[in-house]
Amino acid sequence: MSLKMINIQKYLFFAMMLVFSTISFAQKKQNFVIVIDAGHGGKDVGARGVADLEKNIALDVALRFGNMIEKNHKDVKVVWTRKTDIFLELWERTRISNDNHANLFVSVHCNSATNSSATGTETFVMGLKRSSETDEVSRRENSVVFLEKDQEKYEKFDPNDPEAVIAFEIMNAAYKEQSIRFADLVEKNFVNRDFRKSRGVKQNNFHVLRGNASPSVLVELGFISNYDEGTFLASEDGKQKTAETLYESFKQFKKEFDRRSGIEDEPAPKPVKKVEKPVEGKKLKVKVMESKMKFSATSPQLRGLTDLDVIQEGDNYVYYYGETDLQSRADDLLNTVKRKGFSGAKIVEFETNKRLEGGKNYRVQFMTSNKKYKDRDDKFNGLTNVLRVKEGNLQKYYFGADKTMEAAQKTLKDVQDKGFRNAFIVTFNGEDPL
Ligand SMILES: [Zn+2]
């Protein structure tokens, strides 16, 4: 063998070493395992909802949830107990979790009740304390064992045997705090992100949670026996929103996990501080949405956004939020609106001092009635020179006539201060609405 050959072999060896070390480095970077367990499956259909079976909704949401994690967290390994419509015994789900050394186990389910008005989400952690209310849920979610071949597996644990209980409590204590933390994030996010009703974080004895050597929760996404919640959870939009909320909760949980493990986020580049110049002669507002409907100030359609400016333009009502002459502040306002679920919202510029051409003007509509009132009527709360416009059977009442948006907004504020909270601006040509 020539010297040259030996050198090549040596280089090859080093090259291979390099490849191997990169691989092991890449593996080491996966520092978190989540096991996502879609409840039920196959012959075990779970609850029967108004629009779909529990096993289908649970699987769909579980797949979306895990895919979001896989896409955005290269350092997380996602394991599903099932990715298709198959029957799995409860102990198998726990075994998959423990074999993969899960850092978090999330079992996804839907609730059901004979009372069709029952609604809301709830998230369970393992515990032996019972309340009769949660007993029904655990009875239902545990009942699958009767479809399983070997029911003795679950009888080994006797909640009335003090020794078994103590052994359980010791094991459970290690994970309980983290289980409750994740459950809490899930329930809070359902309320804050999706405006869902939360029944809270609860504990009960679930077979599928009991044997897990990791923080573990069982999420009930809502009552599919209820018409509204059942159709929501079976819908494309509902499944996507629900999965996003589980994902958001995971993201927060993982961030806390990283902080505890000493893994920090990549340091963010230091912001360069600039003195921001206001946009001159213009105001920035967030256009929230456009609708044929005029919603009242407290309507759920507005998702808790208050102090919206509503401007009628032709047949449409346009809803605007906030006002600023700083671009950065407008970006903040836009984020607020988007977080409320108005994904199509955008920033628009208003030339507040631009005068309307010809006979055009802005008026404030403050009242609609089927009755005719004369000017200075008590109903107007002191507003005078009120313009009445008949439309079909209705009389619409308007106040003011301004040439600029800035002036119209002042008028609107005055009218609202007189008690007409749902007043809004309409563009006119002379005395005719456009
Ligand atoms: Zn279930």
Mean pLDDT, rounded, for 354-362: 87
Mean pLDDT confidence for 93-105: 94
The answer to whether residue 255 scores a pLDDT higher than 90 is: yes
What pLDDT does 130 receive?
59
Percent of the chain exceeding pLDDT 90 equals: 42
* Ligand 1 centre distance from Cα of residue 62 (Å): 13
How far is the centre of ligand 1, averaged over its atoms, from the C-alpha of 252 (Å)?
A: 25
**Contact call for residues 261 and 94 (beta carbons, < 8 A):** no
Task: Using pLDDT thresholds of 50, 70 and 90, give the confidence band for residue 20.
Answer: very low
Residue spans of the domains in the chain: they are: 25-260, 283-433
**Which protein residues have their CB within 5 A of the ion that is ligand 1?**
39, 46, 109, 141
* Residue bearing tokens 């644990």: 157
- The rounded Å distance from CA 345 to ligand 1 centre is 37
Query: What is the 109 CA–ligand 1 centroid distance (Å)?
Result: 4
Instruction: Examine the pLDDT at 218 and tell me if it is beyond 90.
Output: yes
| Mean pLDDT value of segment 82-93 | 94
CATH superfamily name and code, 25-260: Zn-dependent exopeptidases (3.40.630.40)
- pLDDT band of 421, cuts 50, 70, 90: confident
pLDDT digits 0-9 by tens, 120-136: 999 999 887 655 666 77
Mean pLDDT of all residues in the chain?
84
Q: Give the pLDDT score at 200.
A: 94
CA–centroid distance, residue 138 to ligand 1 (Å): 9
Q: What's the pLDDT at 28?
A: 45
pLDDT at 1 over 70: no
- pLDDT, position 192: 94
Tell me how far the alpha carbon of residue 186 lies from the centroid of ligand 1, in angstroms: 17
Which pLDDT score, from 0 to 100, does residue 129 have? 65
User: Is a pLDDT exceeding 90 seen at residue 210?
Assistant: no
Distance 144 CA to ligand 1 centre (A): 9
| 156 C-alpha to ligand 1 centroid (Å) | 22
- Averaged over 406-420, what is the pLDDT? 88
| Ligand 1 geometric centre to CA of 106 (Å) | 12
pLDDT of residue 290: 86
CA of 387 to the centre of ligand 1 (A): 60
| Centroid of ligand 1 to alpha carbon of 171 (angstroms) | 25
**pLDDT per residue as tens digits for the range 157-193:** 666 677 766 766 776 777 889 999 999 999 999 999 9
Report CA(42)–ligand 1 centroid distance (Å): 13
What's the pLDDT band for 6 if we cut at 50, 70, 90? very low
Of 85-99, 311-325, 391-405, the least confident: 311-325
Please give the distance, rounded to the nearest whole angstrom, from the Cα atom of residue 56 to the centre of ligand 1: 11
Closest CA to 38 of 1, 72, 83, 103: 83
- Distance of alpha carbon 164 from alpha carbon 314, whole angstroms: 72
- Give the Å distance between the CA of 142 and the centre of ligand 1: 8
Q: Tell me what pLDDT residue 317 has.
A: 86
Angstrom distance (rounded) from CA 129 to CA 202: 10
Residue 25, pLDDT above cutoff 50:
no
**CA angle in degrees (0–180, nearest 5) for 278-284-287:** 165
